[in-house]
Amino acid sequence: MSKSKNEPKPPRRSFLAVAVALVAGGLAAVTPLAVGIAAFLTPLFRRRETPSVRVALLQQVPDDGMPRSFPVVANRVDAWNRYPAQRIGAVYLVREPGAEKPLALSAKCPHAGCFIGYAPGAEMFTCPCHTSEFKLDGARVHGDAEVSPRDMDALPVELREVGIADGLAHVEVWVQFLDFQTGHKEQIPTA
Ligand code: FES
C-alpha cells in the first residue's frame, strides 16, 4: 500500500532541537568539571624552579683554602604545598688564597646521597657510607676507581654586595642549589 500524500511528516525538527539541547546541556555540565580537574592537575606539570639561596657572608669564608659547611635553607614547594624555611641540603664553601669568590660543592654524595664529611685540617672530603674520597676541589681522589660515579657537584655561586658596615662592604654568598640524581656518572637534574 502506498503512503498518502497528506500523511503528516515525522517531527524531524523537534527531534534535532532536543538532541542539540541535550548535547549543549551535557557540555555545560562537563566543562566546569574538566576545568576543575585541569586546575587541580596543573601543579604536577609545573616546572620546579631552582632556588637561589643566601648561604653565608663572604667574611665567614676566609681565603685559606679550608672548606666550611653551611646549611641551605629555602622555601620548599611541592605540587600543591609551600613549606617556608626548610633545610633542603648543605654546601661546602672553599675559598682559595687570593680568590674573590668561593667554590661551592654540594655535600650530597653523588653515589647514594650520604652527607659527605670533612674533618678540619684534613686534605680531603670523605663519604662515611662507602668510603669515597674527594679532593678539596671536589674531584674524586681515585677517579673512576672510587665508588662515587662522579666528582662532587659544584654549584654556581654569586656574590651580592648589600651595603657597607664599619667601612667594609657587606657581601653575601648566594648559591644556585641544583640537585642531581645519585648513582649516575652524568649530572641528571632531579625532577
Ligand atoms: S653514598 Fe657516598 S660513597 Fe656511597
Note the pLDDT tens digit of each residue in 111-133: 999 999 999 999 999 999 999 99
Tell me if 128 is assigned to some domain: yes
Mean of all residue pLDDT scores within the chain: 86
Mutational test site, ligand 1, from 105, 114, 116, 185, max ligand atoms within 8 Å of CB: 114
Q: How many CB atoms lie within 10 A of CB 188?
A: 11
Per the structure, the count of domains in the chain is 2
- Tell me: pLDDT of 10 over 90: no
- Tell me: pLDDT of 2 over 60: no
The reply to whether 40 and 56 lie within a common domain is no
Reported confidence tier of residue 28, pLDDT bands at 50, 70, 90:
confident
The reply to whether 65 and 37 lie within a common domain is no
The reply to whether 106 and 157 lie within a common domain is yes
Q: What is the CATH number of the domain that holds 95?
A: 2.102.10.10
Contact 161, 170 (CB under 8 A): yes
Q: Which atom of ligand 1 is nearest to the CA of 130?
A: 3
The reply to whether 56 and 41 lie within a common domain is no
Q: Which atom of ligand 1 is nearest to the CA of 113?
A: 1
Average pLDDT over residues 141-146: 97
The reply to whether 38 and 86 lie within a common domain is no
**Residues lining ligand 1, judged by CB closer than 6 Å?**
109, 111-112, 114, 127, 129-130, 132, 147-148
Which is more confidently placed, 78 or 134? 134
The reply to whether 85 and 120 lie within a common domain is yes
In the reported structure, the alpha carbon of residue 127 is separated from the centroid of ligand 1 by a whole-number distance in angstroms of: 6
Tell me if 181 is assigned to some domain: no
Tell me if 5 is assigned to some domain: no
pTM of the model: 0.74
pLDDT of amino acid 1: 45
pLDDT of amino acid 41: 59
Tell me if 187 is assigned to some domain: no
Contact 56, 93 (CB under 8 A): yes
Residue nearest to ligand 1 atom 4, measured at CA:
130
pLDDT of amino acid 85: 83
* 34 SS3 class: helix
pLDDT digits (tens, 9 = 90+) for 30-66: 776 766 666 555 555 555 666 899 999 999 999 999 9
Which is more confidently placed, 135 or 41? 135
**Who's near 54: CB < 8 A, 6+ residues apart?**
160, 172, 173, 174
Mutational test site, ligand 1, from 132, 134, 184, max ligand atoms within 8 Å of CB: 132
CA distances from 182 to 114, 137, 178, 179 (A): 10, 19, 13, 9
Tell me if 86 is assigned to some domain: yes
Tell me if 182 is assigned to some domain: no
pLDDT of amino acid 43: 54
Cell of 164: 657597607
The reply to whether 67 and 146 lie within a common domain is yes
Tell me if 184 is assigned to some domain: no
The reply to whether 61 and 37 lie within a common domain is no
Q: Which atom of ligand 1 is nearest to the CA of 112?
A: 1
The reply to whether 110 and 156 lie within a common domain is yes
Range of the domain at 65: 52-176
pLDDT digits (tens, 9 = 90+) for 62-113: 999 999 999 999 887 776 788 888 999 999 999 999 999 999 999 999 999 9
Reported confidence tier of residue 160, pLDDT bands at 50, 70, 90:
very high
**Who's near 111: CB < 8 A, 6+ residues apart?**
127, 129, 130, 132, 147, 148, 149, 182, 183
The reply to whether 32 and 105 lie within a common domain is no
The reply to whether 149 and 112 lie within a common domain is yes
Tell me if 112 is assigned to some domain: yes
The reply to whether 35 and 69 lie within a common domain is no
- Tell me: pLDDT of 155 over 80: yes
